[in-house]
Amino acid sequence: MVKKIKIVIRYFLYLIMSLVFGVMMYLGSAKAITGNAMPMPFGYGVGVVVSGSMEPYLSIDDVIIVKERDTYEVGELVVYQSKGVLVVHEIIRFEGDYVITKGSANNTEDDPVPIDNLKGEVVEIYEGAGNFVRFIKSPLGAVLILSVALLLLLMSFKDEKKHEQDDIEKIKEEIEKLKNSK
């Protein structure tokens, strides 16, 4: 029974490693292939703030979680893509099918943005976590994560082999005891 559980755990680790690798490849190549600077798998995206235009609400290196929405309201922080660059600003007002946004640290409003160009609303902020996210998204970070997962997987095989060897030794000792008792 324990062996079956270990096999299930291994297949689960294989699945996790495959998903991590697949998502990393997708996120890494999405901008180059599709021009989409923030892929939104499952309706969510992750971004790192790179300017101070939203100080004091958002700072450089804050990580934001963005959720796709069907409707938006004045005062919400939204992300949109402008010429391949992501912008996170607050909605000031609507003008027909356009939204007017502005960075809280900026003196002027942004050019009107078609509502359809909005990626989504900022739903979560993790202060200062940007360096970690950039590392995870980097090729080195992806290799490191996959290497650790693979190392854990290999260690589980090694541990199982040691236990099997111990069991074999115990069986041999038992056989010797039985032979000597006759």
The CB density around residue 148, as the number of other CB atoms within 10 Å, is 11
Q: Is the peptide bond before 56 cis (omega within 30 degrees of 0)?
A: yes
Tens digit of pLDDT at every position of the chain (182 positions): 666 777 777 778 777 777 777 766 666 666 666 666 666 667 888 888 888 888 888 888 888 888 999 889 999 999 988 777 788 899 999 998 999 999 988 889 988 998 888 888 999 888 888 888 778 777 787 778 778 777 877 776 666 666 677 777 788 887 877 777 76
3-state SS class at 106:
coil
